[in-house]
Amino acid sequence: MPELPEVETICRALRSGGRDAPAIVGWKIKRAEVLWRKTLAEPGLEAFFQRLEDQQIVDVHRRGKFIVIHLADEFLVVHLRMSGDLRVDPDSIDLLPHDRVVIWFQNGYHLAFNDTRKFGRIWLRKDLDGLLHRLGPEPLEIDDAEDFYRRLINHKRQIKPLLMDQTFISGMGNIYTDEALHIAGIHPLRNSTELTWEQAQKLLSAIQQVLKKGIERNGASIDWIYRGGSFQNEFRVYGRSGQACPICGTLIEKIVVGQRGTHFCPVCQPVFRSFRTKEKEG
């Protein structure tokens, strides 16, 4: 599933150009086509077609893993889910087999939402509150380590599932969570209540470090779903079970945490219980 860096890369390309395609900001919509009905979450088909016609793209931004395309009067919101992608092509290029929704522009280009597994969704809404209101803070915008520490210890959950909970922090997924936990030296099974102030600080720094690097590398391309990034060449633990840890040389292990394959170093990320003190450490 595309995570924050991959979604951010797509948004930047749509907004400013990239991924071998021009920016769509300023373009006017000619018409829309829905090739897989379930992709459209809301509104109904007729309203979708009517409301999009002649609308202009004003801006594109990301919230968590959602792509928000600002129109003149409303918002076109896309969630890629497991296998979604957005592609800008001239009309002279044929649609692909798994294109589910196509937005045709007046300038001879189209925006295609391609989704092999059919889990992705698109919304056309007048506001964003009812759709995005439950998302947690953007990880790259968190600057209050005290608040982050307090929120961690107030949730009695294993740390990996908690970081992937979009209501706790938005945009984190399997890849970047594994990488951040390795940098922070925290075992994915550790309970959030066990973390010390120092560990919380280190974890927040690791999350922001790995996300920034992922964005710099245009995300990670690890299979046929998302292409164009190079962060996979710098993985420390993700997808490297049985290979040597880049820090200590111990073989990376893989377990299942929260129904997700999870990679970690048993030496750099020991699983043990510590007793958190009320006083901040350090």
* CA–CA gap between residue 158 and residue 53 (Å, rounded): 47
pLDDT band at 261 (very low <50, low <70, confident <90, very high): very high
Q: State residue 229's pLDDT score.
A: 82
- Please tell me if the domain spanning 4-132 has the same topology as the one spanning 139-264: no
pLDDT at 53: 96
- Mean pLDDT to the nearest integer, 214-227: 79
Q: What is the pLDDT of residue 19?
A: 78
Examine the residue annotation and report whether 2 is marked as an active-site residue of this protein.
yes
Please give the average per-residue pLDDT across 124-151, as a whole number.
96
Q: Give me the residue spans of the domains in the chain.
A: 4-132, 139-264
> Class for domain 139-264, per CATH?
mainly alpha
Alpha helices in 87-228 (DSSP H): 129-132, 145-154, 159-164, 174-184, 197-216
Which of 22, 260, 266, 276 is flagged as catalytic?
Answer: 260
C-beta of residue 31 within 8 angstroms of C-beta of residue 102: no
Would residue 108 be called left, alpha or beta, if left means φ above 0 and alpha means ψ between -120 and 50 degrees? left
**Exposed, middle or buried by CB within 10 Å (0-12, 13-18, 19+), for 256?**
exposed
Q: Where are the alpha helices (DSSP H) in 45-95?
A: 45-52
* Mean pLDDT value of segment 227-245: 92
CB 228 within 8 A of CB 160: no
Mean pLDDT, the chain, rounded, equals 93
**What is the number of other CB atoms lying within 10 angstroms of the CB of residue 130?**
10
Q: Per the residue annotation, which of 3, 6, 8, 179 is the catalytic one?
A: 3
Partners of 102 in the β-ladder: 33, 112
Q: Are 84 and 10 in contact (CB under 8 A)?
A: no
Q: State how beta strands 99-105 and 109-115 pair.
A: antiparallel
Q: Is 189 helix (H, G, I), strand (E, B) or coil?
A: coil
Contacts of residues 198-201 at CB distance under 8 Å and 24 or more positions apart, as own/partner, are 198/281, 198/282, 200/145, 200/148, 200/149, 200/152, 200/153, 201/145, 201/149, 201/282
Is the CATH code 3.20.190.10 the one for domain 4-132?
yes
Can you name the residues that pair with 77 across neighbouring β-strands?
68, 123
Q: Is 281 a catalytic residue?
A: no
Query: What is the predicted pLDDT for the residue at 280?
Result: 42
Strand partners, 75: 70, 125
Rounded to an integer, what distance in angstroms lies between the CA atom of residue 178 and that of residue 258?
Answer: 13
Is the pLDDT confidence value at 228 over 80? no
266 pLDDT higher than 50: yes
User: Catalytic: which of 15, 51, 65, 100?
Assistant: 65
Residue 276 CA to residue 205 CA, distance in Å, equals 20
pLDDT for res 128 = 95
pLDDT in the model for residue 279 = 41
65 is catalytic: yes
At residue 169, what are phi and psi to the nearest 5 degrees?
Answer: -150, 135
What is the sign of the dihedral through the CA atoms of 21, 23, 213 and 114? negative
> Of 2, 5, 161, 188, which one is the catalytic site residue?
2
Question: For this structure, is 46 an active site residue?
Answer: no
Residue 187: predicted pLDDT: 97
Predicted local confidence at residue 241, as pLDDT: 97
pLDDT at 1 over 90: no
- What distance in Å separates the CA atoms of residue 77 and residue 6, rounded to the nearest whole number? 16
pTM of the model: 0.92
Count of all residues that appear for the chain in the document: 282
